[in-house]
Amino acid sequence: MMKKKVLAFAAAAVFTLSVSGCAGGEAAGNGGGSTAGQEESQTVSVMDKDTYLAEIDGLNSAAYEFMQIMTALTEDLDWETAITEIRECKTPFIEFSEIDNPPEGYEEAHAEMAAASKRVGEFLDDYADFFQDVQDGIIDTDEEYTEKSETLLAEMEASFAELGEKMGEVQEIQ
């Protein structure tokens, strides 16, 4: 019974992401990986604009991937894989939040977008924890499920909408 409710929650997540505007559009490929986690020399150089914008495209790709995982979960109950993949989706968001050398002119917008990106990464961890808790029977009453799922849906909507808004602000700089 609880897993059926989680499937409804996953479907709601897909809908929420599609209307928040963060996971829509064409996602960039995942090639190359992030530069945020690479070791830096003693002198921090400013990231070039194209690399920075590619990092932002990576966030769109990760949001799209999360939406795909939620869609797949509504069709197939492979919980362990879904939980692992949700946790992996957070990496680009956390790495983006750690960029400390945005291109010139992007500093202010980046600070706000980095904070929003970190919140999305933290949400994805909370979301995976929710699925794990349901699977493990930690969340096993309708009341617990309803309270947690409503909180997570609100958090998802707010965090992805904020990130989408901040992405728009960065695009205006271009």
pLDDT tens for 65-117 read 988 888 887 777 688 898 999 999 999 999 999 999 999 999 999 999 999 99
Contact 119, 159 (CB under 8 A): yes
Residue 10, pLDDT above cutoff 70 = no
pTM, rounded to two decimals? 0.76
How is 114-139 classified by DSSP, letter by letter?
HHHHHHHHHHHHHHHHHHHHHHTTSS
Q: In whole angstroms, what is the distance from residue 151 CA to residue 85 CA? A: 21
